[in-house]
Amino acid sequence: MAKCAKCNKLVTKKSPGLQCSKCSKWIHAQCASITADQLSALNSTDSVDWKCRPCNGSARPKRLSCIMPDADDEEATDSEQQQPTNSDITQHMLSQIRREVREAIRMEMQQALSFFSDKIDEYEEKINIYEQERKNMEKQQQELKNNLTTITLRNNMMEQRINMLEQSQINNNIEICGIKEEKDENLTNILNTICSKLQQKPADIQKVFRKKSRQTNNNRREHSAVTVILRDGCRNQWVNSARDTPIHSRDLGIDGDNRIYIREELTPSTAFLLWKTKMELKEKHRFKFVWIKHGNIMARKNENEKYFVIRSQSDIERAVTETQDRS
């Protein structure tokens, strides 16, 4: 049987070919790039001159010899060429599955993106609402702070005013501190002795009594002050005279050598503020002078400094700050 000069395989009805009219070599139609229709046309034409590529153009034409496929074989060949293989079917199915999977993934991603986009918009809207509510709450909080500050200031002013009114009601009173409380004591005799010592008139005294003693933190009972109600306009004379003429317990016929202090009577609020002023300014910050004048607490760092009027805790803090700044 003839073999193809190009691929050296047999030329058969299943692999048809044709013979060169010059060198008489057989070539597969496929190797010579000739289609089945062209091969059929060459075979049905008389005295056709076909040469292979090496012999093309130099030989006298001969009768073309062809090996043609049978009609059944040709149909079978066409059907074989047209019928897809299992691999083709598998590839096609895989390709289709891939397309469907990609489409499904794309749809799922679009739906997910749309869902999350809506959620983000929803959260942003809520965040904006919360942010506005937070700002409103901060504004309300600041307003409440301002109102509280205003109320506190007004309350302090009212307390100071009430304390001033209470203090004005005891403008004629003095307190005598340091007199040891004894059973069946005679305060009138003690006051007469003080009047003699201070060169004041006993007739200035309208009433004398001892305040109730109070229990201290260590369960010791403190000696309470003796309150003296004087005639109008006499208080300052007694206080000034007591400042110039110190009195001790022995001067009153009382055991010991305790200093007797005479001062203006103070309301409980003023007395507490006086104690606090002494603790803060004299003890901690070494103010040299803390005294009472006309029911007001006065404080001064030393002789060369200005004096401060202490009406509240803030005045104590102001006195400390200003004296530190000048130091």
- The 10s digit of each residue's pLDDT in 125-182 is 999 999 999 999 999 999 999 999 999 989 988 988 998 899 889 999 999 988 888 8
Residues 170-265: name the CATH superfamily.
L1 transposable element, RRM domain (3.30.70.1820)
Q: Measured at the alpha carbon of residue 174, what is the angle toward residues 313 and 191, in degrees to the nearest 5?
A: 150
CA-angle at 80, arms to 79 and 85, nearest 5°: 120
pLDDT at 223: 60
pLDDT digits (tens, 9 = 90+) for 42-72: 777 766 677 888 887 544 445 555 565 655 5
Give the separation between CA 192 and CA 199, rounded to whole angstroms.
10
Ranges of each domain in the chain: 17-82, 84-169, 170-265, 267-327
Tell me what percent of the residues of the chain surpass a pLDDT of 90: 37
Amino acid at 75: E
Query: How much is the pLDDT for 68?
Result: 59
